[in-house]
Structure 1
Amino acid sequence: MPAPDRIVVGYDGSAEAGAAVRWAARHATYLDCELHVIHCSLWPLLTSDLGPVRGIEGSGLQHQAQTILEQGKAEAVSVAPRVPVHGRLLYGLPAGHLRRIAGDARMLVLGSRGIGGFLGLLVGSVSLELAATASCPVAVIRFDNHPEGRIVVGIDPSGSAGALRLACDLASATGSELMIIHVIRPHDGMAHATGTGREAARRLLLGVAEDAKALAPRVTISQDLVRDASVPRALLNASRGAALIVVGSKGHGLLKGTIGSNAHAVLHHATGPVLISRN
């Protein structure tokens, strides 16, 4: 029997991680998935004394880590009481654990800040690493102020099939409207062509919209062709008031294990949830 679909979410007790757990739990409901809450404690990297202090009930670093995990599970249950919620406490650096556990997951959900137990890694470091290296889609949650808003998906000249499919799946599951946006820049060759480039971009957008209608026949779909010198700026402007922005990343960053510059900029500046598609 195949394993049930699951969403994996990292939790370290921070406010950002709490928002990520609640977002993940709601979407586990929409997508009919299990939810796996993971807490990674760094204490064993610093000390082997994880046990309780003699004579003090509920003390000790292992107990503290377990308490944080239980808090994460409780956050999930508070918004999605019918979702099967599983918790797992692991020791060590979080990126490797989360990448391995989420290998075949529907998605991996993270807070916008680094997940690093009590130390708290550099802001966004774990999220950025996993957005670039995880084999499943990665959602990064900073704020979730417009849960009833539309879903925005950015399309590049390839048609961004993976990002489109993700956006259509989520729009179908949540009942959200879907906006498809394609950005042409003034200095691109396509944009310079006398009318031809813009017409080619329109045809691309129309074709992608037809694909979206086939993938999500019950979803209200709109499309927008935007001319802007900055692709991230155009995507961020389009996502104001949106529930989610979906962007593709083929990992064409300057360094191995990094995402492309557009996805990187969107992750850093988006005020709402961002979902990164790796194909």
Structure 2
Amino acid sequence: MDDAERIQRSHVLFGYDGTAENDAALRWAVDETARRGLDLVMCHCWHWPYASGHVDRDAETIMKRAGENLLERGVRRARELGAPGAVHARLLRGPVAEALLGASGTAELIVIGAHEDLDAGATALEVPARADRPVVVVRDGNGPGRTGRPPELVVAGVDGTARCGAALGFAFDEAALRDWDLHVVYGCWEPGAVIDSELALFNDRELLEKTRAAELEEAVAPWRERHPKIGVTVSLLLERPCEALREAVEEAGLLVLGDRGTGLDPLGATSSGMLRRAPCPVAIVPGRRPPG
């Protein structure tokens, strides 16, 4: 069932668990393959529930066969949804996050589903925090195929630093692929996240706004030149990033963010918070380029 050796083309990697809640994420993954001209690689991860030294060949065989059957159903479902390229199935041994990250080396994009509550350690938080390529997290009901027509708008949350260039590039590309408009949002009230020499800006709101507006324009200008046909709106708000994004994402079909976390929260408070709250799919784009 595992045809990893036959995967040659660039592809979208999708984490498949066979649940009804996972179908919205599968729809998004299929849609990405169609728009990007990529293959789809569907991964299902099974986890040995016993102690590491426990041996039960019959139980292992049964678990693997169950995973293979589930993947067969998933491949059929992907084709029902119109996957235009090859659909490959990979059965991996978990834990899920470790297995998906290990399989992502040649993926252009990772798509995973998410349940309503994202607790610490959830796959939908752990994978984007550790991946070196973009990860799109889709909740049940907010993928392409949800009730009603999805908003034709990409929202990109930026911070004016060099690291946001990757997220901006991804946001512009998605808007171009989908023929959607783009709204770039910079919530710049972050006194706890700046270097000491910039703290004085928060005592002068006019200077803060002028400084951050220049940073925002410098970040957006190169991408606007590359994609002149995209309708772009830029908003600079003297609010904390999550507050600035909260209203914008109500009209979004996709939210794109970077990863800027350190220490206990490797994603950063904004990305972690929006993964939990956003009513639309969320793409987390690492500031570092993937190997190769």
Instruction: For residue 196 of structure 1, give the secondary structure of its aligned residue in structure 2.
Output: helix
Residue in structure 1 matched with residue 157 of structure 2 by the alignment: 154
Residue in structure 2 matched with residue 49 of structure 1 by the alignment: 58
In 1: Cα distance, 2:150 partner to 2:59 partner: 40
Do structure 1's residue 263 and structure 2's residue 271 form an aligned pair? yes
Report 1:219-230 matches (<5 A): 219-228=230-239, 230=240
Residue in structure 1 matched with residue 3 of structure 2 by the alignment: none
Q: 1:234 to 1:91 in 2, by over 3 A?
A: same
- For 1:28, the aligned partner's letter is T
Q: 1:262 to 1:51 in 2, by over 3 A?
A: closer
Instruction: For residue 276 of structure 2, give the secondary structure of its aligned residue in structure 1.
Output: helix
- In the TM superposition, residue 239 of structure 1 has moved relative to its aligned partner by 0.9
Residue in structure 1 matched with residue 211 of structure 2 by the alignment: 200
- In the TM superposition, residue 61 of structure 1 has moved relative to its aligned partner by 3.4
RMSD: 2.6
- For 2:203, the aligned partner's letter is H
User: Which digits, 9 at most, give the CA deviation of each residue in 1:229-278, with x for residues without a partner?
Assistant: x31132132111311000011332425xx311111111111121000011
In 1: Cα distance, 2:127 partner to 2:83 partner: 28
Give aligned-pair identity as a percent.
Answer: 27
Residue in structure 2 matched with residue 64 of structure 1 by the alignment: 66
Larger CA deviation: 36-45 vs 239-248 = 36-45
Q: 1:83 to 1:91 in 2, by over 3 A?
A: same
Do structure 1's residue 277 and structure 2's residue 285 form an aligned pair? yes
- For 2:21, the aligned partner's letter is E
Residue in structure 1 matched with residue 261 of structure 2 by the alignment: 251
Residue in structure 1 matched with residue 4 of structure 2 by the alignment: none
Q: 1:180 to 1:197 in 2, by over 3 A?
A: same
Report 1:29-40 matches (<5 A): 29-40=34-45
> For the Cα contact (< 8 Å) 2:172–2:223, is it kept in 1?
yes
Q: Equivalent of 2:115, from 99, 113, 116?
A: 113
Decide which structure has greater helix share.
Answer: 2
> For the Cα contact (< 8 Å) 1:37–1:88, is it kept in 2?
yes
Residue in structure 1 matched with residue 243 of structure 2 by the alignment: 233
Residue in structure 2 matched with residue 136 of structure 1 by the alignment: 133
> For the Cα contact (< 8 Å) 1:44–1:50, is it kept in 2?
no
Q: Structure 2 unaligned runs (5+)?
A: 1-6, 193-198, 288-292
State how many pairs are aligned. 262
Instruction: For residue 239 of structure 1, give the secondary structure of its aligned residue in structure 2.
Output: helix
Instruction: For residue 185 of structure 1, give the secondary structure of its aligned residue in structure 2.
Output: coil
- In the TM superposition, residue 31 of structure 1 has moved relative to its aligned partner by 1.1
Q: Structure 1 unaligned runs (5+)?
A: 53-59, 115-120
User: Which digits, 9 at most, give the CA deviation of each residue in 1:62-92, with x for residues without a partner?
Assistant: 3321221122222322222412211111223
